Amino acid sequence: MTVSLHIHGAAGTVTGACFRLVTPHGDLLVDCGMFQGPKSLRVLNYRPFPFDPAGIAAVLLTHAHIDHTGLFPKLALAGFRGRAWTTPATRDLLHWLLPDAGAIQENDVERLNRRNARRAEAAVTAIYTKADAEAALELLHPIAYGRWFKPIPGVRARMRNAGHILGSAFIELEIEASPSPIRLVFSGDIGPLEKALQPDPTPPAPADVALIESTYGDTVRLRLSETERRALLGRELADGLKAGGNVIVPVFAVERTQEILDDIAALKRGGELASVPVFLDSPLAGRTTEVFHRHHAALERSEDGHPFSTGDFRLTETIEQSKAIGRLHGGAVVLAGSGMCDAGRVKHHLKDHLWRADSTILFVGYQAPGTLGALVRSGLKQVRIHGEEVKVRARIRTIEAYTGHADRDELVSWARPLLAGLATAVLVHGEAESIAGLADALVAANLPRDRVVVPTLDQRYDLVWRAGRWTAEEADVGIAAPRLPPEEASARRDWHNDYAEILLDLRGALQAAPDDRSRRRLLQEMRRVIGAAGGGR
């Protein structure tokens, strides 16, 4: 009997989670996420899956974030017809998130095709539409935490609380095999201890093979109490407003928005923050907040009463309302999606505010390499937004207290019940430094070094009975040509980022040149280099 594990995403990068189990009982997929970050990585979203979607018997989704679920409608469109199991809260969140992702793709493609038409370039199509996503929702099947179920005959699974966002789960799986069942754990994303709104993650049961996320595997964060976290947010907002401009907060529609709203409400009730207008410029965030209301019993809050409530939150539904915010040049807090600044209304707010020295951009979440948020946070003096060059003069601030991911020590603490019997720890969902940091920490916690593996994209492992346990061993056969070389899949930047930066540098050099003669010399030199490379007209 052969069982194999295939790593189709989140290998050397933090997005695109997608793991396939091939068993004699049928094929399973754990997560089906969208790649985010540099364009060379995002292009994978448009390519065919490296497997037959119609051959997948069932899907298990750990949580609602798009980097774990965003390609599920594409999977359904390509022929998947089985059940997709997840928690009830995740099902309810995806009711809004997946159609919104389809609508964003339609809008982006429409704008891109207008540009391509002007350049006489070929039109492109959306990965899937809003209607495609709505149709895929019919395949979602909710299952409560802790309840064993059989996604296919011969395999049983259960969802356990991961403490990451509302409804998030890690998955324990058992595959019927001889001489004993194969036990696997898929961590999904593990939340930190004492997280705002969410209970601590549940400890996992012993397993043979565990896929462990490593987003912050090389980081140990300062622990803040709820009071300290709120005070930090209050100071940052007060300082930003005192500077004279607006405070723009890029947020994810799920969890981060609700955490910030809850803390702002508490700060206002306690008189620690002035009564300033707070705009929630994300219809999606407004709708997902209603899902949080519906599942409020699952939340862990220190205060009674209706969550996320205050006297001056203003939800902007329409584009016209969003544009009206752009005419306010001071005295407001604006929460807008998306959290990594690569889509949504926040890009328009950044165009309006990045060039203003009195404005503040407050980052409260992870910024994947190559995203606009990561570029702004890195200290670049100019960025390109919607094809336009924008100077960065605003105050750029960061709060780490709202992370949804466990740090190195918390990941090791969560994994500790696994370590004694674990044959293979597969480290995914992290960059090279984070993976290396977590590997060292697991070894220090007495997991032998040879039991830690770091996969590349589309790598296959066979599950082999050896020395009284099931272990994952790199297979001799697999994908003949990975969709991306490992160095490109894990790159923080790609040539698209470099191209945009060179355009900005060229414009700056031309403006700084003392006269037109110097500018022509600079352009002639660039043409010479392009000609030597075989480019040009």
Token pair of 90, please? 């995740």
Query: 186 and 112 in one domain?
Result: yes
Query: 173 and 36 in one domain?
Result: yes
Query: 390 and 241 in one domain?
Result: yes
Q: What percent of the chain has pLDDT over 70?
A: 93
Query: 278 and 157 in one domain?
Result: no
Average pLDDT over residues 353-375: 91
pLDDT single digits (tens) 220-237? 998 888 899 999 999 999
Strand duo 388-391 + 149-152: pairing: unpaired
**Which of 398, 415, 442 is the endpoint of a domain?**
398
Query: 307 and 444 in one domain?
Result: no
pLDDT at 305: 55
Whether 528 shows a pLDDT value over 90: the answer reads no
Query: 169 and 48 in one domain?
Result: yes
Token pair of 383, please? 């960025």
Please indicate, yes or no, if residue 93 is contained in any of the structural domains: yes
Please indicate, yes or no, if residue 388 is contained in any of the structural domains: yes
Query: 469 and 329 in one domain?
Result: no
Query: 70 and 146 in one domain?
Result: yes
How many domains does the chain divide into?
A: 3
Label residue 408 exposed, middle or buried (CB < 10 Å: 0-12, 13-18, 19+): buried
| Peptide bond before residue 178 is cis, with ω within 30 degrees of 0 | no
Which has the closest alpha carbon to 166: 254, 252, 85?
Answer: 254
Contact criterion met (CB below 8 Å) for 298 and 90: no
Please indicate, yes or no, if residue 284 is contained in any of the structural domains: yes
Which has the closest alpha carbon to 190: 515, 341, 412?
Answer: 412
- Whose tokens are 């049961």? That residue is 205
Whether 114 shows a pLDDT value over 90: the answer reads no
SS3 content of the chain, % helix, strand, coil (to 5): 35, 20, 45
Question: Coil, strand, or helix at residue 249?
Answer: strand
pLDDT single digits (tens) 60-92? 999 999 999 999 999 999 999 999 999 999 999
Token pair of 437, please? 């940091």
Please indicate, yes or no, if residue 484 is contained in any of the structural domains: yes
Please indicate, yes or no, if residue 337 is contained in any of the structural domains: yes
pLDDT at 337: 86
**Which of 368, 398, 428 is the endpoint of a domain?**
398
Amino acid at 152: I
Residue 8 CB partners (closer than 8 Å, separation 6+): 16, 18, 19, 20, 49, 50, 51, 457, 458
pLDDT at 186: 98
Please indicate, yes or no, if residue 316 is contained in any of the structural domains: yes
pLDDT at 156: 98
**Which of 398, 419, 454 is the endpoint of a domain?**
398
Cα–Cα distance, 417 to 410 (Å, whole number): 13
> DSSP labels for 423-469?
SEEEEESS-HHHHHHHHHHHHHTT--GGGEE---TTEEEEEEEETTE
Please indicate, yes or no, if residue 175 is contained in any of the structural domains: yes
Max CA separation in the chain (angstroms): 80
Instruction: Give the pLDDT band (50/70/90) at residue 118.
Output: confident
- Whose tokens are 């979602």? That residue is 140
Query: 242 and 117 in one domain?
Result: no
**Three-state SS annotation for 298-337:** HCECCCCCCCCCCCCEEECCCHHHHHHHCCCCCCCEEEEC
Average pLDDT over residues 161-174: 98
* Count of CA atoms in the C-beta half-sphere (13 A) of 62: 33
Between 439 and 503, the higher pLDDT residue: 439
pLDDT at 310: 58
Query: 358 and 284 in one domain?
Result: yes
Between 308 and 20, the higher pLDDT residue: 20
Task: Return the number of other C-beta atoms located less than 10 Å from residue 480's C-beta.
Answer: 6
Query: 181 and 232 in one domain?
Result: no
User: How many helices and strands in the chain, by DSSP H and E?
Assistant: 16, 23
Kindly report the CATH number assigned to the domain that includes residue 44: 3.60.15.10
Please indicate, yes or no, if residue 537 is contained in any of the structural domains: no
> DSSP labels for 338-407?
-TTSSSSTHHHHHHHHTT-TT-EEEE-S---TTSHHHHHHTT-SEEEETTEEEE--SEEEE--TT-SS-B
The most confident of 116-120, 426-430, 521-525, by mean pLDDT: 426-430
Which has the closest alpha carbon to 417: 221, 149, 212, 198?
Answer: 212
pLDDT at 313: 87
The most confident of 42-56, 284-298, 305-319, by mean pLDDT: 42-56
Query: 151 and 13 in one domain?
Result: yes
Which has the closest alpha carbon to 278: 290, 292, 266, 264?
Answer: 264
Cα–Cα distance, 194 to 413 (Å, whole number): 14
Cα–Cα distance, 168 to 162 (Å, whole number): 5
pLDDT at 145: 98
Range of the domain at 142: 3-220+404-489
Kindly report the CATH number assigned to the domain that includes residue 279: 3.40.50.10890
Average pLDDT over residues 373-393: 91
Task: Return the number of other C-beta atoms located less than 10 Å from residue 324's C-beta.
Answer: 12
Contact criterion met (CB below 8 Å) for 409 and 192: no
Contact criterion met (CB below 8 Å) for 211 and 422: no
Task: Return the number of other C-beta atoms located less than 10 Å from residue 39's C-beta.
Answer: 12
